[in-house]
Structure 1
Amino acid sequence: MDKDTHTQHPTPDNPLGGRIALVAGATRGAGRALAVELGRAGATVYVTGRTTRGRASEVGRTTETIEETAELVAAAGGTGIAVPTDHLDEDQVRGLVARIDREQGRLDILVNDLWGGEHLLGSVFGKKSWETPLADGLRILDLGVRSHVITAALALPLLVRSPAPLHVEVTDGTAVSNRRYRENLYYDLAKNAPIRIAFGLGEELAEYGGTSVAVTPGFLRSEQMLTHFGVTEENWRDAVAGEPDFAVAESPHYLARAVAALAADPERSARWNGRSTSSAELARTYGVRDVDGSQPDAWGYFEEVRFGGRDGSADDYR
Structure 2
Amino acid sequence: MSTGEELRGRIALVAGATRGAGRAMAVALGEAGATVYVTGRTTRTAVSEVGRSTETIEETADLVTAAGGEGIAVPTDHLEPAQVRALTERIDHDHGRLDILINDVWGGDHLLEFPFGGKMWEYGLDKGLRMLRLGVETHIVTSHFALPLLVRRPGGLVIEVTDGTAESNRTYREQFYYDLAKTAPIRMAYALGEELRDLGCTAVALTPGWLRSEAMLDTYFKVTEETWRDGIAQDPAFAISESPAYVGRAAAALATDPEVARWNGRSLSSGGLAKVYGFTDTDGSRPDAWSYLAAKAKDPTTNAADYR
Q: TM-score w.r.t. structure 1 length? A: 0.94
User: Which of structure 1's runs of 4+ aligned residues deviate more than 6 A?
Assistant: none
- Any conservation in 2 of the 1:112–1:148 contact (CA below 8 Å)? yes
Please report how far the alpha carbon of residue 150 of structure 1 lies from its aligned counterpart in structure 2 after TM superposition: 0.6
Listed as ranges, the gaps of 5+ residues in structure 1 are: 1-10
Match of 2:183 in 1: 192
Quote how far apart the aligned CAs of 1:12 are: 4.9
| In the alignment, structure 1 residue 282 sits paired with structure 2 residue 259 | no
The percentage of counterpart residues that share the same residue type is 65
Gaps of 5+ in 2: none
Residues of 1 paired with 2:116 and 2:124: CA distance? 11
Q: For the residues of structure 1 that align with 2:201 and 2:251, how far apart are their CA atoms?
A: 15
Decide which of 155, 159, 165 is 1:174's aligned counterpart: 165
Distance 1:188 1:232 in 2: 29
- 1:126 & 1:80 partners in 2: Cα distance? 41
Q: CA contact under 8 A between 2:3 and 2:32: conserved in structure 1?
A: no
Asked whether 1:224 is paired with 2:215, we answer yes
1:161 CA drift (Å): 1.2
| Counterpart position of 2:299 | 309
SS of residue matched to 2:205: strand
The aligned runs of 1:126-205 (5 Å cut-off) are 126-205=117-196
Deviation at 1:162, TM superposition (A): 2.6
* Distance in structure 1 (CA, Å) of the matches to 2:97 and 2:227: 42
Contact 1:124 1:184 (8 Å CA) reproduced: no
The 5 A counterparts of 1:59-78 are 59-78=50-69
Deviation at 1:311, TM superposition (A): 3.2
CA distance in 1, matches of 2:228, 2:148: 42
CA distance in 2, matches of 1:12, 1:241: 38
Show the counterpart of 2:228: 236
- In the other structure, the counterpart of 2:253 is 261
String of CA shifts for 1:255-296, please: whole Å, max 9, x gaps.
1111101111111102x0000010011111100100000000
- Mapped to 1, the partners of 2:307 and 2:171 lie a distance apart of 20
TM-score normalised to the size of structure 2?
0.97
State the SS of the aligned residue for 1:283.
Answer: helix
Instruction: Check whether the contact 2:105–2:138 (CA below 8 A) recurs between aligned residues.
Output: yes
2:241 pairs with 242, 249, 254, which one? 249
Which residue does the alignment assign to 1:300? 291
Q: What's the Cα RMSD here?
A: 1.1
Count of aligned residue pairs for this structure pair:
306
CA distance in 2 between counterparts of 1:162 and 1:224 reads 38
Give the Cα–Cα distance (whole angstroms) in 1 for the partners of residues 54 and 300 of structure 2: 40
Q: Helix, strand or coil for the counterpart of 1:54?
A: coil
AA paired with 2:261? S
